[in-house]
Amino acid sequence: MLGYIVRRLLWAIPTLAFVSFISFVIIQLPPGDFVTAYVAQLRSGGEYITELQESILREQYGLNDPLLVQYWRWISNIIFYGDFGRSLEWNAPVSDLIWERLGLTLILSSLSLVFTWMIAIPVGVYSATRQYSVFDYVFTVFGFLGKGIPDFLLALILMWTAFAWLNMDVGGLYSPRFEGQPWDFDKIVNMLSHIWIPLVVLATGGAAGLIRVMRANMLDELRKPYVETAYAQGFSERTVVWRYPVRVALNPFISTVGWALPALFSGDVITAVVLNLPTTGPLLLQALKMQDMYLAGSFILILSVFTVIGTVLSDILLALSDPRIRFS
Amino acid sequence: MKNYKNIFIMSSAILLTGTIAGTAWAFQEAPMLAEKVRAGELPPVEERLPENPTVVNALEVGQYGGTWSRAFKGPGDRWGPTKLMEERVIKWSQEPGGELKLVPGYIESYSVSEDSREFTFTLLKGLKWSDGHPVTTEDVEFWYNDVFMNRDLLASVDQTLAPGGKPMKLEVIDEQTFKVSFEDPYVYFLEILAKDSTGEPSLDRPSFIFPKHYLKQFNNKYASEAELKAAAEKFGVEKWQDLWGSKGAATAWWQNPELPVITAWKIEQPAPADVVTMVRNPYYYAVDQAGNQLPYIDRISHRLFSEQEAFNLMIVQGQIDMQMRYVEPQDFTFYKENEAKGEYQVNRWTQAQTWSLVPNLNTKDDVLRSLYETPDFRQALSIAIDREIVNDLVFSGLAEARQASPVTGSPNFDPDLETHWAEYDPDRANELLDGIGLTERDGDGYRLRPDGKRLSIVVEMQHANGPKTMEIIADNFKSIGVELLPRLIDRTQWDASRDNNEFQMQWFPFDRLSVVAADPRIMMGSDSYANQYYIWYSTKGASGIEPPADHPIREVFAKWDVAAKAATREEADAALTELINTFVTEGWVIGVVGEMPALSIVKNNVKNFREGLIEDDITRGVGLAKTQQMWIQQ
């Protein structure tokens, strides 16, 4: 198994190189470049940049160089110095921008993953074992509603409700007075009082689909002979259900653990933007809009690394949970 | 704290002369600075202020202290913070309801020679940088010789400071006084200084002065190559030139806390911190009428947001103390409903812009272009629009139906121009179109162009109010047989369309309508209705498209040439007025609604906010409110 993991990780290197190059190219595909976007932004703020200033900027950022040169400048620094380059827009090292946001993103994504599972697994199991019961229908309706309402809309509704009726302080991950302050107990408590909105939003979106998957898998498993055998042996329903079919039905959950991170990075950008969360999503979106290629490229690269690691992790977990799976 | 507040002692002499004799007066300072003085970290306030500090008349003498909370959209949004504290030799000033006028900034006096060629400025005696170093004409010389004229740093000089390609000249008279001169008369130089300043290559332009004692270490005239290299490395940029410029690591005030400034606040915690903060400059040169050193407010903090709804929620939750930027008229009702809950008030200034349909006179579609060039066609499009409906439905009735022409309060305001072709008359519009031979119609009732195609115009937009407005205007145009096809596109694409001359028409906030002399470029077609013609004009024919020999835009260009070189103010103003008249009466740009309010949120405990002024880039946005005299009740 160790050999397998090493092989997988080695394969990841050319994959990452390829992904980083393609993403770098794609970022540059739209018309214009960072300076075009930057100047446009200044113009919308009412400022006028002369063409001369524009060309100076372009020169300063090395945007006149061929794409390959720009790519090499960026990737070679990452490989040799671990330096992700500078964000053109923020005029700051990419690493300064990313890490804290990445930490918060990780916290949020793992919490919401746990939360999603806490909803999806019991509900899925219940729906399968009590198929076509009243609660099965109720959960199904809610599940489809959760899937159907766009996340950002739900976020807006929750924020409005919390603000207008509960008089809560909404938006962001903590109150303004904690912004930029070092982490302490009060700040964590304050964060917990804010974090429920994104958690609910992210979990309802994700849970709905998983409930259906869990339900379908369970239904498949419950009809299998080994279940009947188990019942025949006189085990209680609880033991039968939770010890065997659930374990098998969890299979797709485990194999998608690796995608949870990238999904939070990218899939829920709009929610994060609406909620004004200090996570990576809004930063990535802005970087793409501004064609801030070193920042956006680094994001996508880190994202790919996470995907690769996550996939390896889920493979390992899968092997542990399901002895039928073998590495070859 | 009580000792410092509400000092109402006032001398009539102060009000008359506008200065305070330093020896006769005891100045007061903020408690946070007094503490530092006691600790020996700062010299006493009398020594920090100039001999005769500038007096900024506060609406009401205020209290020191507090943090002013605002929100911003990221580093690209630094004009929000910048405009709170820009300093110039000359600044615009406006009393509520009054006209704009120029007043001296950090100088004692200025004078202009009779032929408008020479401009003399005298710096405040004893003016100091934020690190306590004196500001003298040495800093002016440094700016001129080592930066402005330094071709290693700046490839060439901006047109506005080098009319006819000849850069302005500098002559230093003494430690305090300097003179700049031009080959030809340049009557609008002061207006341009007040708006654009001179601080090239940095975009934050205090005009004429750069802190030599600090910046010389990054300048190739003073530092060795090795030193420059080390400096570049320290700031993490590739070349020493990157330390300078609009986003220069060393010369950008909002990035480098070490950079000495003369502004009321200076950066304390730059981006990419979660909260960007600015703190008071202990050496700020101005006092209020009671001798209190300004500013009153200790700190300004900016919280990052990216979505309008997030910002709106901050407002109604009372998290914004005072802000104008991003407070949108279309959310007016929402702000008003929550005034009590958020403990703020919504205030109104007037925006110096008119939301307009801008046809592209240089469009690549020949048939459309020749229609655009037909005055009756332009008039028909303009009078077919029901502006009142647009105002009511899209702008909450807060704006005014009008043409794209100078706004109320502008020295160039003219009521006749404001209403030119702006009355709703679809019957007349139909007659006009019939009159120019567009009588054929297709099955859907749309007119046919001379080449037999349906007369349709693609209008590009990227602003939130676009789609709603276009729905109304498309309906209006349908009734005169013209098809309007709205396209909501991305900002970058929107600009690229214009740069590459790819658009037929755009929905555009046509601005710079307060003091036209300070920036007539948009009115002359730049980045607007005739970008290619303007490029032809500004590059002296090197690129762009040459307008036809009899094209009236040549008159606009000619008038600016006259105004820019006129020997007297009267002559220049006359030419400028003709330029504006030609632009408006030709009706190249179809103004729809304008003079809408620039809304601002002011918390109930934020005092001395001036109301009813003009919001424009020319007047430096909220800067016109003299932010250093605003205060927060503790």
So what's the ipTM on this one?
Answer: 0.80
> Which secondary structure element, helix H or strand E, spans residue B405, and what is its range?
none
Three-class secondary structure of residue B553 per DSSP: helix
> Six-digit token pair at B102?
């120029």
> Six-digit token pair at B325?
């930027």
Cα distance between residue A314 and residue B548, in whole Å: 70
B275 vs A163, A179, A273: nearest CB: A179
Using the beta-carbon criterion (under 8 Å), do B496 and A93 form an inter-chain contact?
no
Q: Which residues make Cβ contacts (< 8 Å) with residue B444, sequence separation at least 6?
A: B454
Three-class secondary structure of residue B546 per DSSP: coil
A38 CB within 8 Å of a chain B CB: yes
Residues 47-66 of A with CB under 8 A from B: 47-50, 52-53, 55-57, 60, 62
**What pLDDT does residue B142 have?**
94
A179 vs B237, B252, B303: nearest CB: B303
Using the beta-carbon criterion (under 8 Å), do B247 and A57 form an inter-chain contact?
yes
Cα distance between residue B145 and residue B256, in whole Å: 23
Per-residue DSSP letters for B301-332? Answer: EEEE--SHHHHHHHHHTT--SEE-TT--GGGH
Q: How far apart are the first and last CA of chain B?
A: 9
| Full 3-state SS string of B433-471 | HHHCCCCCECCCCCEECCCCCECEEEEEECCCCHHHHHH
**What pLDDT does residue B265 have?**
95
In chain B, what residues touch A91 (CB-CB under 8 Å)?
75, 247, 249, 252, 255
Which residue, among B428, B309, B339, has the nearest Cα to B379 in the 3D structure?
A: B428
Taking only the tens place, the pLDDT of each residue in B398-450 is: 899 999 999 988 889 999 999 999 999 999 999 999 999 999 999 999 999 99
> Six-digit token pair at A36?
């075009």
In chain A, what residues touch B510 (CB-CB under 8 Å)?
none
> Six-digit token pair at B305?
């947001």
In chain A, what residues touch B242 (CB-CB under 8 Å)?
60
**What pLDDT does residue A91 have?**
78
Q: How far is B175 from chain A (nearest CA, A)?
A: 32
Residues 249-308 of A with CB under 8 A from B: 273-276, 278, 282, 285-286, 289-291
Using the beta-carbon criterion (under 8 Å), do B621 and A60 form an inter-chain contact?
no
Cα distance between residue B213 and residue B133, in whole Å: 8
> Cis before residue B272, ω within 30 degrees of 0?
yes
pTM of the full structure: 0.83
Tokens 């900027």 belong to A57
Taking only the tens place, the pLDDT of each residue in B468-520 is: 999 999 999 999 999 999 998 877 778 778 888 999 999 999 988 988 998 88
Q: How far is A318 from chain B (nearest CA, A)?
A: 39
**What pLDDT does residue A327 have?**
60
B511 vs A36, A46, A89: nearest CB: A46
> Which secondary structure element, helix H or strand E, spans residue B171, and what is its range?
strand B169-172
Question: What sign results for the dihedral spanned by CA atoms B183, B188, B194, B200?
Answer: negative
In chain A, what residues touch B237 (CB-CB under 8 Å)?
86
Q: The CATH number of B354-594 is which of 3.10.105.10, 2.60.40.1120, 3.40.50.80, 3.40.50.880?
A: 3.10.105.10
**What pLDDT does residue A260 have?**
67
Which residue, among B9, B7, B64, has the nearest Cα to B631 in the 3D structure?
A: B64
B75 vs A91, A96, A156: nearest CB: A91
Contact B352, B514 (CB under 8 A): yes
Cα distance between residue A302 and residue A94, in whole Å: 12
**What pLDDT does residue B7 have?**
34
> Six-digit token pair at A140?
């199904």
**Length of chain B in terms of residues written:** 634
A180 vs B74, B155, B273: nearest CB: B273
C-beta neighbour count of A67 within 10 angstroms: 12
Q: How far is B585 from chain A (nearest CA, A)?
A: 25
A60 vs B242, B310, B317: nearest CB: B242
For domain B16-299+605-632, the CATH class is alpha beta
In chain A, what residues touch B492 (CB-CB under 8 Å)?
30-32, 36-37, 40, 289, 291
Ranges in chain B, pLDDT < 70: 1-25, 199-205, 246
Taking only the tens place, the pLDDT of each residue in A65-109 is: 888 888 888 888 888 888 888 888 887 888 888 887 888 888 888
Using the beta-carbon criterion (under 8 Å), do A92 and B272 form an inter-chain contact?
yes
Encode A28-61: b = buried (16+ Cβ within 10 Å), e = exposed. Answer: bebebbbbbbbbbbbbbbbbbbbebbeebbbbbb
Region class of B103: left (phi > 0), else alpha (psi between -120 and 50), else beta = beta
Name the CA radius of gyration of chain A, rounded: 24
Q: Which residues make Cβ contacts (< 8 Å) with residue A10, sequence separation at least 6?
A: none
CA B532 to chain CA centroid, nearest Å: 24
Cα distance between residue B278 and residue B298, in whole Å: 9
**What pLDDT does residue B22 have?**
43
Region class of B485: left (phi > 0), else alpha (psi between -120 and 50), else beta = beta
Which residue, among A266, A250, A249, A246, has the nearest Cα to A314 in the 3D structure?
A: A250
For residue B241, what is the nearest residue in chain A, using CA coordinates? A60
A53 vs B77, B246, B273: nearest CB: B246
Tell me the average pLDDT of chain A. 82
Stretch(es) of chain B classified as CATH 3.10.105.10: 354-594
Using the beta-carbon criterion (under 8 Å), do B79 and A179 form an inter-chain contact?
no
For residue A34, what is the nearest residue in chain B, using CA coordinates? B492
For residue B490, what is the nearest residue in chain A, using CA coordinates? A289
Using the beta-carbon criterion (under 8 Å), do A97 and B155 form an inter-chain contact?
no
Q: In what order do the strands lie in the sheet with B590-594?
A: B400-401, B590-594, B354-359, B505-510, B456-461, B483-488
Q: Which residues make Cβ contacts (< 8 Å) with residue A67, sequence separation at least 6?
A: A24, A25, A28
Taking only the tens place, the pLDDT of each residue in B119-151 is: 999 999 999 999 999 999 999 999 999 988 998
Using the beta-carbon criterion (under 8 Å), do B495 and A273 form an inter-chain contact?
no
A103 CB within 8 Å of a chain B CB: no
**What pLDDT does residue B3 have?**
40
B77 vs A45, A163, A276: nearest CB: A45
Residues 170-209 of A with CB under 8 A from B: 170-172, 176, 179-180
B309 vs A40, A60, A156: nearest CB: A156
In chain B, what residues touch A275 (CB-CB under 8 Å)?
310
In chain B, what residues touch A97 (CB-CB under 8 Å)?
272
Cα distance between residue B27 and residue B50, in whole Å: 11
**What pLDDT does residue B399 have?**
92
Tokens 């909404």 belong to A170
Ranges in chain A, pLDDT < 70: 43-49, 260-267, 325-328
Q: Which residues make Cβ contacts (< 8 Å) with residue A204, sequence separation at least 6?
A: A146, A149, A154
For A125, B480, B482, the CA distances from B445, given in Å and listed in that order, are 62, 9, 9
Cα distance between residue B524 and residue A317, in whole Å: 68
CA atoms within 13 A on the CB side of B492: 17
A166 CB within 8 Å of a chain B CB: no
In chain A, what residues touch B326 (CB-CB under 8 Å)?
none
Using the beta-carbon criterion (under 8 Å), do B495 and A40 form an inter-chain contact?
yes
**What pLDDT does residue A284 have?**
87
For A160, B39, B58, B296, B633, the CA distances from B2, given in Å and listed in that order, are 40, 21, 19, 14, 12
Q: How far is A250 from chain B (nearest CA, A)?
A: 38
Using the beta-carbon criterion (under 8 Å), do B495 and A57 form an inter-chain contact?
no
Strand ranges in B390-537 using DSSP code E only, listed in sequence order: 400-401, 456-461, 483-488, 505-510
Using the beta-carbon criterion (under 8 Å), do B69 and A41 form an inter-chain contact?
no
**What pLDDT does residue A73 have?**
85
In chain B, what residues touch A81 (CB-CB under 8 Å)?
none
Stretch(es) of chain B classified as CATH 3.90.76.10: 16-299+605-632
In chain A, what residues touch B358 (CB-CB under 8 Å)?
none
